[in-house]
């Protein structure tokens, strides 16, 4: 596994535990609340999964409005969206709406990019599996030939 994938993996694993701590839930409760299979979360916990799936990220963003989507996607910024006073909200609403729209658009683009990268990783893993099978069968044939000689 490349170091970059390991860092992303640890980051999403840490994000999951940060969210669980904030929500005061365990993995099973979190999965039930999001209506997802808990296996994805347990696989992340036990290092068998690298990243949140696109579906899981979308469900977290939709369900928990206080979770910062930029933080969830990139790990940058704060986990929670800061509360504003009503006066700040009224004066900054148009800019915030534009910024939110831009962030959502960027988020969608990033999620698509992640999906494409995950597909590429799956394809490369399949190619690696096939190459290993070739090497294994080639080694077996060579062993048989040595025995027959």
Residues 3 and 55 in one domain: yes
Residues 145 and 118 in one domain: yes
Q: Dump pLDDT digits (tens) for 15-39.
A: 888 999 999 999 999 999 999 988 8
By CB atoms closer than 10 A (0-12, 13-18, 19+), residue 38 is: middle
Residues 54 and 102 in one domain: no
Residues 15 and 66 in one domain: yes
Residues 73, 76, 81, 87, Cα dihedral to 10°: -130
Q: Does the global pTM surpass 0.75? A: no
Distance of CA 114 to the CA centre of its chain: 8
- pLDDT at position 118 over 60: yes
On whether residue 87 sits in a domain, the answer given is no
Instruction: Give the model's pLDDT for residue 93.
Output: 46
* Number of C-beta neighbours around residue 111 at 10 A: 19
Residues 40 and 65 in one domain: yes
* Number of C-beta neighbours around residue 11 at 10 A: 13
Residues 122 and 52 in one domain: no
Q: Dump pLDDT digits (tens) for 55-113.
A: 888 999 889 888 888 888 888 888 888 763 333 333 444 456 677 777 787 787 888 88
Residues 10 and 52 in one domain: yes
Distance CA 53, CA 56 (A): 5
The CA-based angle 91-93-96, given to 5 degrees, is: 125
Query: Can you give the CATH number for the domain in which 5 is found?
Result: 1.10.260
Residues 18 and 68 in one domain: yes
Specify the number of domains making up the chain.
2
H-helix segments, the chain: 3-23, 27-34, 38-45, 54-63, 69-74, 86-148
Residues 70 and 118 in one domain: no
31 or 148, greater pLDDT: 31
On whether residue 15 sits in a domain, the answer given is yes
C-alpha dihedral sign at 36, 39, 42, 47: negative
Residues 71 and 117 in one domain: no
Asked which of 82, 101, 125 is the last residue of a domain, the reply is: 82
Range of the domain at 25: 1-82
What contacts 24+ positions apart, CB below 8 Å, involve 115-121?
Answer: 115/54, 118/51, 121/5, 121/50
Distance CA 85, CA 40 (A): 38
Residues 7 and 75 in one domain: yes
Residues 37 and 98 in one domain: no
On whether residue 11 sits in a domain, the answer given is yes
């Amino acid at each position: 596994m490349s170091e970059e994938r390991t860092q992303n993996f640890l980051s999403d694993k840490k994000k999951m535990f940060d969210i669980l701590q904030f929500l005061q839930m365990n993995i099973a409760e979190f999965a039930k609340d999001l209506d997802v299979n808990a296996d994805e979360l347990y696989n992340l916990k036990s290092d068998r999964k690298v990243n949140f799936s696109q579906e899981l990220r979308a469900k977290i963003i939709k369900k928990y409005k206080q979770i910062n989507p930029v933080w969830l996607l990139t790990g940058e910024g704060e986990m929670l969206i800061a509360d504003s006073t009503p006066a700040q909200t009224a004066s900054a609403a148009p800019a915030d709406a534009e910024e939110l729209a831009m962030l959502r658009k960027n988020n969608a683009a990033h999620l698509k990019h992640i999906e494409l990268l995950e597909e590429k990783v799956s394809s490369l893993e399949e190619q690696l599996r096939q190459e290993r099978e070739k090497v294994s069968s080639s080694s077996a044939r060579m062993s048989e030939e040595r025995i027959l000689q």
